[in-house]
Amino acid sequence: MRDRNNRFMAIFLFLLVSMLLVGGLIAALIGISDEILYSFLSGLGAVAPFAFIISFIYACRRERPAWYLAILAFMAILPCVLLVFVVFAAPPEGIFILYPNIDTRFAPGYSEETFNNIPIGMSESEVLNLLREPLVVAELNPDWRIKEEPDTVWSYTGDGASRWGDFAWRGRAVYFRDGKVVRKLATWHFD
C-alpha cells in the first residue's frame, strides 16, 4: 500500500509539473507578452487548474491511493495551483490570455472586421460611415511632422477598460493625410 501511495504522488507531481512547463513553454514561444518571462508565466498560470485536475484524476485512476492521501494531496496543492492561475494568467502589462481585450476600450460601433477592410486611400467620410466616431481625433502639428507623414490620427481603441488590473491593450488607429487613409495601426500596447 505504501508503494502505491508513493507512486501516486510521484505520478501526480510529475504530470502536474510537466503540463505546467509545457503550457509555459508554448506561451513563451507564441509570445503572449513583450517579455519572454511574462509569456512563460502566463502560460503556466493558464494551464494550472487544468493540469492539476488532469494529473490528479490520472494518478488516482492508475494507482488507487489511500483515500486520505488523495484528499490531502488535493487540498494541499489546489490552493497553490489556483494562486498560480490568478497571479500568472495575467502578468502586469501582458495579454490576459483568458480575455485578451480585458483592458481595451473600443469606440461605440467599432468592428474589427470593418477596421480590417478599410483600404489605403479611403476618405475620412467613408471611414466615418463604416467605423463611426473614433475615441480620439489627434491633429498632428505641421511643424513637427515630415511632409509625407499623416496629418490626422483617429484612434478607435484606448487603454483602461479593466477595473482590477493594468494589462496590454489593442491599439487600432487610422492615419490620414489630406483627408485620405495613408496607414492603419493594428498592434498591442504594453503600457
> Per-residue pLDDT tens for 126-167?
999 999 999 999 988 777 766 678 889 999 999 988 877 788
Q: Beta partners for 157?
A: 106
Task: Specify the pLDDT at position 132.
Answer: 93
The answer to whether the beta carbons of residues 103 and 161 sit under 8 Å apart is: yes
Q: What are phi and psi of 162, to 5 degrees?
A: -75, 140
Q: Could you give the CA distance from residue 184 to residue 179 in angstroms, rounded to a whole number?
A: 14
Percent of the chain with pLDDT over 70: 68
Query: For 87-97, what is the mean pLDDT?
Result: 68
Place of cell 490620414: 176
- Please give the torsion angle defined by the CA atoms of residues 152, 157, 163 and 168, in that order, rounded to the nearest 10 degrees: -100
The answer to whether the beta carbons of residues 151 and 142 sit under 8 Å apart is: yes
Tell me, yes or no, if the pTM score tops 0.85.
no
Q: Beta partners for 170?
A: 188
